[in-house]
């Protein structure tokens, strides 16, 4: 039997407290231009986790971690054995990230749980706040490592073996992070989850343009990522003859131009990005011997995404001569749709609170992607000013951030008190 609180949990969400916590988190890894550099498994990531554990302790939440470095804070339920309701996002950022991407979802979950506690009614199911390890994938690619390991979508040993540009493995960086955290229990990977709800900034302009406060996320568009390695030969920039050169720089730029041309979409639905480009030896007077670049390809139609992605290796091969090229696909995810019943919960909660809302497809990726096949999942968006994100100017009005937390509080409380 569940007990209904007299006042909805949303009534206890505190906008100032949420803003203060976001400001405190933004100080960890703060950049000179007002953004955040808190890449996965760095000292800053560990300090952010430590602060979250401290805030959880003030509320009586017990922390634990798992072999993938995910962090959980648990609010006990009346039924200790019931599968928990899970809510959160990620604390890591892009190298020149904003103050909200990821961390908002974690702190909105904390705010929601604090509000649920304030109702004075213990939920039937436990509720857990989660900070997933390495969502962004900037230091270690591809991202969403924690949620992928948790749900069994990727094997943990393969994740632990990934190295960063300095050759430091995920396993080693995880051990370094653990040394900076207080002693907390470690439980095994994975867990039955009753439901997962992730709050996030929209990262696009739609909500703001329509004057809506809440996005009821319908699903997430598909994405394929690749690593392309172009191998040439180093030679003197002044003495080597063109006919003898194997210039990896020229071959790689030719490939990128050919790809951009083939994938060009006048409707701007296909998203093709080369965000990383590393040349060796990277010296002005040496013909490049090697270039490694990344490809991030997205499309909401999984069939189109497959067809477009399958063109990548042949196009790279066709532009490689006289160099060699190796194309490795790092990740592939089809588009997904969240269950209508979960979306209805978000829509109803927003409507009850009198908040303007609309259905919206997420064109950015989120950990909810991996939770979706594992447990009923949903996402709640709040507006992003001008749609700017993955940059230091990311901004959402505090009132909108609080509105998202209020919707989250009521949805989590409903899910934790079934029937
Ligand atoms: O790339 C993404 O969509 C996510 O923000 N990491
Ligand atoms: Mn994010
Ligand atoms: Mn992001």
CA of 81 to the centre of ligand 3 (A): 34
Contact assessment for residue 48 and residue 55, using Cβ atoms and an 8 Å cutoff: no
How far apart (Å, rounded) are the C-alpha atoms in residues 105 and 381? 10
Instruction: Return the closest-CA partner of residue 193 out of 401, 354, 377.
Output: 377
pLDDT attached to residue 2 = 47
Q: Which tokens go with 124? A: 């039937």
Ligand 1, atom 4: nearest CA belongs to which residue? 365
C-beta separation of 292 from 228 below 8 A: yes
Angle 107-109-111 (CA atoms, 0-180°, nearest 5)? 70
pLDDT of residue 219 exceeding 80: yes
Q: Tell me, in angstroms, the distance from the centre of ligand 1 to residue 177's CA.
A: 23
The SS3 call for residue 306 is helix
Q: Model-level pTM?
A: 0.95
Angle between helices 43-58 and 15-26 (to 10 degrees): 150
Nearest atom in ligand 1 to the alpha carbon of residue 298 is 3
Instruction: Please report the atom of ligand 1 found closest to the CA of residue 144.
Output: 6
Pocket lining for ligand 1, CB < 6 angstroms:
135-136, 143, 364-365
Round to the nearest angstrom and report the end-to-end CA distance of the chain. Answer: 8
Q: What percent of the chain has pLDDT over 70?
A: 99
Nearest Cα residue to atom 6 of ligand 1:
136
Query: Could you give the domains of the chain?
Result: 9-220+335-416 (3.40.630.10), 222-333 (3.30.70.360)
Report CA(361)–ligand 1 centroid distance (Å).
14
Residue range 318-373, pLDDT digits in tens: 999 999 999 999 999 999 999 999 999 999 999 999 999 999 999 999 999 999 99
Which of 18, 38, 16 is closest to 27 using CA atoms? 38
Tokens representing residue 339 in the block: 């269950």
pLDDT in tens, 255-294: 999 999 999 999 999 999 999 999 999 999 999 999 999 9
Nearest CA to ligand 1 atom 2: 365
The Cα–Cα gap between 202 and 184 comes to 33
* Closest to 328 (Cα-Cα) out of 309, 342, 341: 309
In the structure encoding, which two tokens stand for residue 367, read together? Answer: 């950990």
Using the mean position of ligand 1's atoms as its centre, give its distance from the Cα of residue 25 in Å.
20
Are the C-beta atoms of 300 and 221 separated by less than 8 Å?
A: yes
Report whether 75 contacts 118 (CB < 8 A).
no
The number of the ligand 1 atom at minimal distance from the alpha carbon of 389 is 5
Length reported for the chain: 419
Structure confidence by residue, pLDDT tens digits, 12-69: 999 999 999 999 999 999 999 999 999 999 999 999 999 999 999 999 999 999 999 9
Q: Distances from the Cα of 172 to the Cαs of 93, 152, 164, 181, 187, in angstroms?
A: 20, 21, 11, 15, 19
What mean pLDDT do residues 222-228 have? 98
- 286 forms beta bridges with 236
Q: What is the pLDDT of residue 408?
A: 99
pLDDT tens per residue, range 137-175: 999 999 999 999 999 999 999 999 999 999 999 999 999
């Amino acid at each position: 039997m569940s007990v209904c609180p007299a006042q909805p949990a949303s009534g206890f969400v505190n906008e100032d407290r949420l803003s203060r916590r976001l400001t405190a988190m933004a100080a960890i890894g703060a950049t000179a231009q007002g953004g955040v550099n808190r890449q996965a498994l760095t000292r800053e990531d560990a300090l952010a986790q430590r602060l979250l554990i401290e805030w959880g302790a003030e509320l009586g939440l017990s922390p634990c971690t798992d072999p993938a470095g995910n962090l959980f804070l648990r609010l006990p339920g009346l039924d200790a054995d019931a599968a928990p309701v899970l809510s959160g996002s990620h604390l890591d950022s892009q190298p020149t990230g904003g103050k909200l991407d990821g961390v908002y979802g974690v702190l909105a979950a904390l705010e929601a749980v604090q509000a649920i506690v304030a109702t004075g009614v213990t939920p039937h199911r436990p509720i857990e706040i989660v900070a997933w390890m390495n969502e962004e994938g900037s230091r270690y690619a591809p991202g969403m490592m924690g949620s992928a390991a948790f749900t069994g979508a990727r094997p943990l040993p393969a994740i632990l073996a990934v190295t960063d540009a300095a050759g430091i493995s995920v396993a080693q960086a995880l051990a370094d992070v653990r040394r900076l955290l207080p002693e907390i229990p470690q439980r095994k990977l994975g867990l039955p989850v009753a439901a997962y709800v992730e709050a996030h900034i929209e990262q696009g302009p739609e909500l703001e343009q329509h004057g809506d406060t809440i996005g009821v996320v319908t699903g997430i568009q598909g994405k394929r990522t690749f690593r392309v390695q172009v191998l040439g030969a180093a030679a003197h920039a002044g003495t080597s003859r063109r006919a003898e050169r194997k210039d990896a720089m020229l071959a790689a730029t030719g490939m990128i131009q050919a790809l951009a041309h083939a994938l060009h979409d006048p409707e701007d639905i296909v998203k093709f990005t080369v965000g990383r480009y590393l040349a060796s030896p990277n010296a002005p007077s040496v013909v490049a011997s090697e270039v490694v670049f990344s490809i991030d390809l997205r499309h909401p139609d999984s069939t189109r995404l497959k067809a477009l992605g399958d063109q990548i290796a042949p196009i790279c091969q066709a532009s490689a001569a006289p160099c060699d090229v190796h194309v490795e696909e790092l990740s592939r995810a089809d588009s997904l749709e969240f269950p209508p019943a979960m979306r209805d919960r978000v829509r109803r909660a927003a409507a009850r609170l009198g908040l303007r809302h609309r259905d919206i497809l997420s064109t950015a990726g989120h950990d909810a992607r991996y939770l979706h096949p594992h447990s009923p999942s949903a996402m709640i968006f709040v507006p992003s000013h001008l749609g700017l994100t993955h940059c230091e100017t990311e901004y959402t009005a505090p009132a909108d951030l609080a509105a998202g937390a209020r919707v989250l509080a009521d949805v989590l409380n409903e899910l934790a008190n079934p029937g």
